[in-house]
Amino acid sequence: MSNGTHYEVLARKYRPQTFAELAGQEHVSRTLQNAIDSGRVAHAFLFTGARGVGKTSTARIMAKTLNCEKGVTHEPCNVCPQCIEITKGTSTDVFEIDGASNNGVDDVRDLRDNIKYLPSHSRYRIIIIDEVHMLSTNAFNALLKTLEEPPEHVKFIFATTEPHKLPVTILSRCQRFDFKRVTLPKIIGRLREIADKEAVVISDSALALVARKGDGSMRDSLTALDQVLAYCGNSVSDEDVGTLLGTVDRRLLAKLSAAVFSGDTQAVLEGIKQVDLVGYNMRQFGQELIEHFRNLLVIRSVKKPEEILDLAAAELDELRAQAGSMPPQDIQRRLTLLIKADSEMAYASFPRLIIEMALLKAALLAPVIPIQDLIDKIKLLEAGAVHTPVLPWETGRAPAAPAAPLSRHSEPTHSLPQHKSPSQTPAVVETVPVAAYPAGDGHSDWGRFVTFMNQKRPAIGSILEHGSPLKQEQGLIEIGFPSDSYYLTAAQDAEFISDVQSLAAEFSGVETTIRIRSIMSNAQGTPLSLAEKKKSDLEQRMEELKLEVENHPVIKEAQRVFGGRITDIHSC
C-alpha cells in the first residue's frame, strides 16, 4: 500500500481499464467488442443499471478503444497518449459531463455547438453524460436532433440509474445496455485479487461480509474494503469487519435459527440479548434474519439453489447443513412471522420486543400435518378401506359405526350394495371413479359398465349415472330414467342409444341392445341409480360425522367453556 502523502482509494486505483477487467458485465463487454470488431459501432449508447456496477468505467473503456492510437480495437492498449489522457480525464476530445449539474438547455446548446468541430487529435469526439435522466425537458428537446443525426466524428454515451425517467424519444435513438448487479462470488473474487495485491491478510468470510455490504455494487464493496483497511491495517479479523460494517455475524444467524427450529426459547432470547449488546440495529438484524430464512427455504425447495442464491460456495454448504431435511412448509411459516414483524418494527417504539415475540412464536409453532396424509386418509375412506392412517388429533377416538345399507325396495334381487364388515373387507381396495355393484349381485356389471363409459365418453357416462339398471343380461341392457327428468329425454335420443350400443359391445364383447324406459321417481322395486347411491352415501356420512362431532369430548368441552353451539359441519 502506498506510503506517500496522497492516497488513492481502491475504487479509483483498481478501476477497470479494459473490457476483460470489467467484472460481472460479460454480456455488455462481448456485445461492444463484437460491434467494434465488425465495424457496427452505433452513434449513441445508453448504459443503465444500479450504482457502482461499471457504467462510467465501460464508457471510458469504449472511448479508449475508439480513439486508441494503435487503431480501433476491442481492447485499448492503455499506453498510448490517447489512452493515458482518457484514463486521467484530461483528453480534449472526450467530454465527461455530469447531467445533474449541467442539466439546462443552455448547457446542451453549448455542447451542440462545440461538437460541430472536428476532434483535435483523435478519431472521435466522445460525449459521456452521466446521470443523463437529470437533464431538463428543454435540454432533452435541444439534444434530440443532434442525437438523431450527429456528425460522423461524434459518439454519445449516456449513463443512468433510472432509465424510466428518460423520454421515449431519447431511448429510441440509443442502443441500450442493461448492466446487472455484480454477483457475490464475483465481488469476493475481485476483492481477493485486490487484497493479495495490497498484501492484506483477510479471510474469505470477512471478504464475504464486505461484499454483502456492497449489495451488488463493486464500487460500494471497494469503498467498504477501504474503510476496513483504514481501521484494521493489513491484518483484518472477522470480528473487526462485523463490528465496523455493522453486519450481523452469520454464526449468530445460524445459532438463532437453529434455536427456533429446535424450540429452544432460552437460546432464542439469549441470542436477541447478544444482538442488543453488540449494538446491532434491531430492524437491520430482523431483515438479515429474514434473508437467512429465505436462503434456507430456497435450499429446501429447489434442486439447484446455487443458481438462485447469491452466496459464496462455503456459505451455501453451511446453509445446506443447517437446512438438513427441514420441511419447507415449516420454514415458510416462520419466515411469514418475521416478515410481519419487520413491517411492525418500522413504527414501533420497542423493536426488540417485537422481534423477541416473533421468534418466540416461531419457536413454539406446532408441526404442520402433511397434506398428503390427509389426502391419503380421504382416498382410503372413499375406497372403503378399513385400516386408515391415524392422524395426530385422532389418537384415542373410537371408530365410526359402519353405514347401514340403503334400499328403495324390499326385493333381494334388487338390493343395493352392502358395506362389508372389517373381517370381510379385502386388504387391497381398487378405487374406481364411480360406485360399483358388488360381485355376486344380479347387477354386478352395472357399476363397471358406467365406469367404462366415463372413461371412454364422459358425456354419456354422466347421463348413465342417473339411470337405474332395470335388466342387464348378455345382449340386452334395459335402463330406466325418471319420467320427469332431463336425462330421460337425453337418453332417448337415437344417436345416444347408438353410441351406448357400440360401447356396450366393446365392453362385453357381444352385440348389445339398449332399451330406455320411463319410470316413476322413487318407485318401489327400482334399484337406485349411481348418482342417487352417491348422494345417499354422502348424506349418511354427514349424519355420522355430525353425530361424531357432537359426541366428541373436545367439542363438548369447548361448548361448555365458551357456551357455543354447532352451526355447520363440513366434510373434506
Please write the tens of the pLDDT for every residue from 480-509. Answer: 888 878 888 888 888 888 888 888 888 888
CA 477 to chain centre: 55
For residue 26, is pLDDT > 50?
A: yes
For residue 446, is pLDDT > 60?
A: yes
How do residues 196-248 score in pLDDT, each as one tens digit? 998 888 888 888 888 888 888 899 999 989 888 888 888 888 877 877 876 67
For residue 11, is pLDDT > 50?
A: yes
How do residues 259-295 score in pLDDT, each as one tens digit? 998 899 999 999 999 888 877 888 888 888 999 999 9
For residue 524, is pLDDT > 80?
A: no
Q: Which of 81-85, 421-425, 472-476 has the lowest mean pLDDT?
A: 421-425
Give the pLDDT band (50/70/90) at residue 426.
very low
- Residue 511 makes CB contacts below 8 A (sequence gap 6+) with 475, 501, 505
Q: Which of 198, 319, 333 is nearest to 250 (CA)?
A: 319
For residue 438, is pLDDT > 90?
A: no
For residue 554, is pLDDT > 80?
A: no
For residue 399, is pLDDT > 60?
A: no
Q: Regarding beta strands 125-130 and 154-160, do their DSSP bridges make them parallel or antiparallel, or are they unpaired?
A: parallel
pLDDT value for 413: 39
Give the pLDDT band (50/70/90) at residue 571.
low
For residue 175, is pLDDT > 50?
A: yes
- Rounded CA gap, 26 and 147, in Å? 27
- Rounded CA gap, 341 and 289, in Å? 11
Q: Regarding beta strands 476-482 and 468-473, do their DSSP bridges make them parallel or antiparallel, or are they unpaired?
A: antiparallel
pLDDT value for 237: 83
Give phi and psi for 517, each to the nearest 5: -120, 150
- Rounded CA gap, 216 and 210, in Å? 11
Q: Which of 301, 203, 196 is nearest to 250 (CA)?
A: 203
From residue 509, alpha-carbon distances to 228, 432, 456, 494, 503 in Å are 86, 21, 16, 22, 10
Domains along the sequence of the chain with CATH: 10-178 (3.40.50.300), 184-245 (1.10.8.60), 250-363 (1.20.272.10), 400-422+436-572 (3.30.300.180)
For residue 421, is pLDDT > 60?
A: no
Torsion on CA atoms 331, 332, 337, 338, rounded to nearest 10: 70
Give phi and psi for 101, each to the nearest 5: -105, -10
- Rounded CA gap, 228 and 238, in Å? 11
How do residues 363-388 score in pLDDT, each as one tens digit? 998 776 666 766 776 666 656 544 44
pLDDT above 90 covers a percentage of the chain that reads: 20
For residue 415, is pLDDT > 80?
A: no
pLDDT value for 177: 93
- Rounded CA gap, 134 and 64, in Å? 26
